[in-house]
Amino acid sequence: MVCKACGHINQDNMAKFCSACGNELQQESQNTVYQESVYYQPPPQRVPNYLIFSILTTVFCCLPIGIAAIIKSSQVDKKVAIGEYDEAIKMSQQAKTLSILSVILGVVFVIFYIIIIAITSTALR
Q: pLDDT (tens digit, 9 = 90+) per residue, 72-109?
A: 999 998 988 888 888 999 999 999 999 999 999 999 99
d(CA 31, CA 25): 17
Query: For residues 94 and 103, is the Cβ–Cβ distance under 8 A?
Result: no
Say what the pLDDT of residue 25 is.
80
Say what the pLDDT of residue 17 is.
82
Break the chain into its structural domains and give their ranges: 1-40, 51-123
d(CA 48, CA 92): 6
Measured CA to CA in angstroms, residue 21 lies from 3, 7, 11, 26, 34 at distances of: 9, 10, 14, 14, 26
pTM: 0.61
pLDDT over 70 at 33, yes or no: no
Query: For residues 3 and 10, is the Cβ–Cβ distance under 8 A?
Result: yes
Say what the pLDDT of residue 46 is.
85
Residue 80: exposed, middle, or buried by beta-carbon count in 10 A (0-12, 13-18, 19+)? buried
Question: pLDDT band at 44, cuts 50/70/90?
Answer: low
Query: For residues 16 and 24, is the Cβ–Cβ distance under 8 A?
Result: yes
% pLDDT > 90, the chain: 50
pLDDT over 70 at 114, yes or no: yes
Question: pLDDT band at 65, cuts 50/70/90?
Answer: very high
Residue 74: exposed, middle, or buried by beta-carbon count in 10 A (0-12, 13-18, 19+)? middle
Say what the pLDDT of residue 81 is.
84
pLDDT over 50 at 34, yes or no: no
